[in-house]
Amino acid sequence: LAKTTQPISMDSYEGQEVNITCSHNNIATNDYITWYQQFPSQGPRFIIQGYKTKVTNEVASLFIPADRKSSTLSLPRVSLSDTAVYYCLVGDSTGTASKLTFGTGTRLQVTL
Amino acid sequence: DGGITQSPKYLFRKEGQNVTLSCEQNLNHDAMYWYRQDPGQGLRLIYYSQIVNDFQKGDIAEGYSVSREKKESFPLTVTSAQKNPTAFYLCASSIGQAASYEQYFGPGTRLTVT
């Protein structure tokens, strides 16, 4: 079971790029890396998912090095509305939901 | 509009009472999940279901029970055996139960037991 480690909190100013790194040293061959965003008193929302190299969508990029032992979520030009908790998950594409673990996440605070 | 609904948003109960939280989805998803979130903490998996009439315990199933009689419904009962039931409860669904499938979450139910 791949455990993930993320910074507890990060601060940024509006308009800056934010990079949140997640460590998952025990990632298995079949594991995918997924990031979710959660606002207070709401359910998490899927942001991006990847297996290796780089993935980009309309809201974020995900960088995964060749050894896959870490990953970095990149949020370009953050705004106040990006203030939220960000969770990194590592899970098996063929396994069960019991292997999915939402850690404490990274609390991102964006200010003017 | 497709999505997941949870009701009620806030729920208050006296200690010793069982309480059932509702979760309905119209996404035609096979897999459904229940999570618990405590203040400042991440989500912990209570139960999950891959198909109708089948469900599995998650990491913290003690004191909880579920049923999956219909594909679109996955109610969670918090029993009096749950030692610390006050928490934020989130229901989710996905096309399949593998980790590579995106999970769609409901708005949550905040349960307070006194």
Pairwise CA distance, residues B20 & B109, whole Å = 11
Q: How many CB pairs under 8 A join A and B?
A: 78
CB–CB of B105 and A44 under 8 A? yes
Q: In angstroms, rounded to a whole number, what is the distance separating the alpha carbons of residues A40 and A35?
A: 17
More confident residue, A74 or A2: A74
**Beta carbons of A49 and B100 less than 8 Å apart:** yes
Tell me which chain B residue has its CA closest to the CA of residue A97. B97
B92: contact with A, CB 8 A cutoff: yes
Q: Count other C-beta atoms under 10 Å from residue A69's C-beta.
A: 13
- B110 touching A (Cβ < 8 Å): yes
Q: Distances from the Cα of B61 to the Cαs of A27, B24, B73, B99, in angstroms?
A: 26, 20, 18, 20
pLDDT of residue A96: 63
Q: Which of A89-93, A106-110, B64-68 has the lowest mean pLDDT?
A: A89-93
On the CB side of A59, CA atoms within 13 Å amount to 11
DSSP-derived secondary structure letter, B81 = T
Chain B residues near residue A95 by CB distance under 8 angstroms: 98-99
The predicted structure's pLDDT at residue A95: 62
Nearest 10 degrees: Cα torsion A59, B26, A102, B37: 120
Encode pLDDT of A43-74 as tens digits.
999 999 999 989 999 999 999 999 999 999 99
Q: What angle do CA A2, B44, B53 make, to 5 degrees?
A: 100
- Separation between Cα atoms, residue B15 and residue B18, nearest integer Å: 9
Could you tell me if A37 and A85 are in contact, meaning their C-beta atoms sit under 8 angstroms apart? yes
Measured between beta carbons, which residues in chain A are less than 8 angstroms from residue B4? 43
CA distances from A86 to A24, A91, B3, B21 (A): 15, 16, 22, 26
Q: Which two tokens stand for residue A94?
A: 């063929």
